[in-house]
Amino acid sequence: GNLVSRVSSGAALRASGALGLGSLTGVLYSTPSWISDYGQGDPRSFAAAAQLEQTAGIFTLELAGHYQRNEDLVGAATFTLGFGRLTIAGEERYQFDTDAAGVFGPEGIVAESVGNFFWESSNRRWTFWGEYSHNDSRRDDEVGDDGVRRDGEHLVGLAMKAPSLRAGGWRPQLTWRHAVGDLSGQVIAGTSGTIAPDLTLSFGMPVFYGKPGSYYRGIAETRVIDDDDTLTGQEADLLEISGQDVLSVTFGLSISFSF
């Protein structure tokens, strides 16, 4: 929902003021690529966006829109609810595609959705996250081999941190990601802790499941084929391995200090 992410590569004029229970912000910006393509005085070299934010107690709502003459109109809506230690948030992003006559068609609206929650105990010993996302642009136009027509890409995920096992902050962590459409996913179990002043060691064990070529096993579809349509011995070995279940262990070492 960051509709003005390209501002970092250009220049922008921003204005904000109080409105109702929140604020209204407007942004006008341009990028070097637009100026190079259309010229400094051309309206196509600029884009405009606005965001309305309203907060009432535990509820916050944000509405945003973005317009650039050569692009589809884009809008976004975000809400946040806070109940003590629990935070629930949702975000919806719409892209309105028009035909040559400037009219919205029946398939001209593409939506992306994200919903999540975050909870942490009062002593911060237990932490839980959860998220669901849906990308309507990933829908299938035809019924698949399994007789099912996908209505988009549905992804879910859960994560948690448990209390520390011992001194040094060794907190067990578990992350699960799952693609609903092809029943593939990833589970990562690991921990991290301090092994010396300002020195942290992390390690985890990711396990992937699902059919080769699925969302989380897509590497199995990657192959290099010669011009004569034959595989070298090394490429054949890679394909054979990629079609099997894979188990791996990762390690990371980080150091941080203040001065």
Q: Provide the pLDDT confidence category of residue 235 given band limits of 50, 70 and 90.
A: very low
> Six-digit token pair at 218?
């897509």
Residue type, 104: F
Give the separation between CA 13 and CA 255, rounded to whole angstroms. 39
Is residue 104 over pLDDT 90?
A: no
Tens of pLDDT, residue by residue over 160-181, are 999 887 766 788 999 999 998 8
> Six-digit token pair at 79?
């809400």
Residue 59, beta-bridge partner list: 56, 81
Is residue 78 over pLDDT 70?
A: yes
Cβ atoms of 91 and 75 within 8 Å: the answer is: no
- The residue ranges of DSSP E strands in the chain, in sequence order, are 11-19, 22-30, 47-56, 59-68, 73-83, 86-98, 104-120, 127-135, 153-161, 171-179, 184-196, 199-209, 250-255
- Entry field: residues in the chain: 259
Contact partners, residue 134, CB within 8 Å, separation at least 6: 111, 112, 113, 152, 153, 154, 155
Q: Is pTM beyond 0.85 here?
A: no
**DSSP summary character for residue 84:** T
> Six-digit token pair at 94?
């719409």
Tens of pLDDT, residue by residue over 114-172, are 999 999 998 888 999 999 999 877 655 544 555 544 556 889 999 999 988 776 678 89
> Six-digit token pair at 164?
């520390």
Give the separation between CA 104 and CA 98, rounded to whole angstroms. 5
Cα 234 from chain centroid (whole Å): 34
Is residue 242 over pLDDT 90?
A: no
Helix (H) or strand (E) holding 131: strand 127-135
Nearest to 158 by CA among 177, 134, 179, 173: 177
Give the separation between CA 53 and CA 58, rounded to whole angstroms. 14
Q: Which residue has the higher pLDDT, 154 or 226?
A: 154
* Torsion, CA 82, CA 85, CA 88, CA 89, rounded to 10: 70
Q: Provide the pLDDT confidence category of residue 223 given band limits of 50, 70 and 90.
A: very low
* Torsion, CA 23, CA 112, CA 215, CA 248, rounded to 10: 10
For tokens 């501002």, name the residue: 7
Is residue 251 over pLDDT 90?
A: no
CA neighbours within 13 Å on the CB side: how many for 150?
19
